[in-house]
Amino acid sequence: MAKIVSFSNQKGGVGKTTSCVNIAAQIAGKHGKKVLLIDMDPQGNATSGLGLPKSKIKKTIYDVIIGRNDINEVIIKTKFKNLHVVPANIELAGAEPELYDMEEGSANFTKLAIESIKDEYDYIFIDCPPSLGMLTVKALSISDGVVIPMQCEFYSLEGISQLQNTIKRIKQLYNPGLQIVGILLTMYNGRLTLTNQVVAELRKYYADKLFKVPISRTVRLSEAPGYGEPICYHDPYGKGSLEYAAVAKELMLRI
Ligand SMILES: Nc1ncnc2c1ncn2[C@@H]1O[C@H](COP(=O)(O)OP(=O)(O)O)[C@@H](O)[C@H]1O
Ligand SMILES: [Mg+2]
C-alpha cells in the first residue's frame, strides 16, 4: 500500500515542486520503489519539470477531481525509472470553486481514485499549490503525511504556524492520521546570519521535525526543470543531487 505524502506550504517559491520532483525521482530511480507524482498545482511546474509539455497534455488531475476520467486514463509513464505522473495544467484552476460547491459527503472522486491505485505504488507524492485553498485541503485530507519545504526567512516562521493550524483543522475534520513528516530547509545558505537565526528558532520548536540535511541553493537545481530532468539525472554527483538523496533516505525512514 502506497504512503501518500503531500508537499505543502502556502508560500510560493519555497521549493515545494523542486523537492517533490527530486525526491520522487530519487526514490523511484535509486531505491526501486514505484512512485506516482500527482501534480495538484494549476501552474503544472512538476509536470513540465519532468519533461512533459503542458500544452500537449489532454487529460489532467482536473478530470479525476470532477469525476470525468478514471485515474488510470490520466496517469503518464515518465521516461524516468519507476516514476509515473498525473499531470496538471491551468485548467485545474477551475477546480477550486467546484470543490467549494461539492457538499460534504458528496462524491469524493479524488479520494476514491487514489484509493483504487494505492496497491500499485510504494509512494504517492502530491505537489500542492501555493495556497491553503481547496486543492491543498483536498490533498492533505487524503495524505498520510506532509512535507513542509521552507526557506530560512523571517516570514517563513509566521507561515509555518499558519500551516500548522490548517493541518490541525484538517486532522479534526477529515483526516486524524495526518502527520508532519518533516520540515525541509531549501535554498539554504549557512553563511547568512538570518539563515542561522531562523534555523535556531526552528530548532527550538520543531527540532524533531527538521530534516537533518538542508538543501543548498545551487544553479544546477534551478536549471534542471528547464531540461525536464530531475537532479539525480541532470547532475547526479552534484551537491543538490546528493542532498536530495539524503533527504529521500530520511523521508523513507520517517514514513
Ligand atoms: N535549492 C535550490 N537552489 C536554487 N534554486 C532553487 C532551489 N530550489 C528551488 N529553486 C528554484 O526556486 C524557484 C521556486 O522553486 P519551486 O520548487 O518552484 O517552489 P514552489 O513549488 O514552492 O513554488 C524555482 O525557480 C526553482 O527552480
Ligand atoms: Mg510549485
State the alpha helices, DSSP H only, in 85-133.
Answer: 95-101, 109-117
Question: Which atom of ligand 1 has the smallest separation from the CA of 11?
Answer: 22
- What does the alpha-carbon distance between residue 224 and residue 54 come to, in Å, rounded to a whole number? 17
Euclidean distance between CA atoms 241 and 220, whole angstroms: 9
Identify the segments of the chain with pLDDT beneath 70: 101-107
Other C-beta atoms lying within 10 Å of the C-beta of residue 38: 30
Residue nearest to atom 3 of ligand 1 (CA): 217
Query: Any idea which ligand is nearest the CA of 47?
Result: 2
**Residue at grid coordinates 531549501:** 186
Task: Domain count for the chain, please give it.
Answer: 1
- Read out DSSP for 173-195? HT-TT-EEEEEEEESB-TT-HHH
Residue 228: CATH number of its domain: 3.40.50.300
Residues 6 or more apart in contact with residue 26 via CB below 8 angstroms: 230, 232, 244, 245, 248
Which residue ranges have their beta carbon within 6 Å of ligand 1?
12-18, 45, 130, 186-187, 215, 217-218, 221-222, 225
pLDDT score for 13:
96
Residues 91-135: pLDDT tens digits? 999 888 777 766 454 458 889 999 999 999 999 999 999 999 999
Query: Which residue CA neighbors atom 16 of ligand 1 most closely?
Result: 15
pTM above 0.75, yes or no: yes
Q: What is the pLDDT of residue 105?
A: 47
Q: How far is the CA of 205 from the centre of ligand 1 (A)?
A: 25
Chain centre distance of CA 76: 17
pLDDT at 57: 93
Per-residue confidence (pLDDT) for residue 104, from 0 to 100: 54
Q: How far is the CA of 11 from the centre of ligand 2 (A)?
A: 9
Give the number of the atom of ligand 1 that is nearest the alpha carbon of residue 187: 1
Given a contact cutoff of 8 angstroms between Cβ atoms, the answer to whether 74 and 65 are in contact is no
Alpha helix ranges (H) inside 118-184: 134-141, 154-173
Closest CA to 72 of 121, 25, 122: 121
**Measured distance CA(135)–CA(128) in Å, rounded:** 7
C-alpha 193 to ligand 2 mean position (Å):
27
Domain housing 182: 3-254
Residue recorded with cell 504556524 = 161
Residue 14 Cα: closest atom of ligand 1:
22
Specify the DSSP element, H or E, that contains 63.
Answer: helix 61-65
Q: Tell how far the Cα of 40 is from the centroid of ligand 2, in angstroms.
A: 9
pLDDT of residue 96: 80
pLDDT at residue 109 in the model: 85
Contact 40, 142 (CB under 8 A): no
pLDDT attached to residue 155: 87
Cα–Cα distance, 140 to 178 (Å, whole number): 7
**Alpha carbon distance 46, 38 (integer Å):** 8
CA 252 to chain centre: 15
Contacts 24+ apart (CB under 8 A), 81-84: 81/28, 81/29, 82/28, 82/29, 82/32, 82/33, 82/34, 82/35, 83/24, 83/25, 83/28, 83/29, 83/35, 83/37, 83/50, 84/34, 84/35, 84/36, 84/37, 84/121
Closest to 194 measured CA to CA, from 150, 154, 148: 154
Across the chain, the runs of DSSP E, i.e. the strands, are 3-7, 35-39, 76-77, 83-86, 123-127, 145-151, 179-186
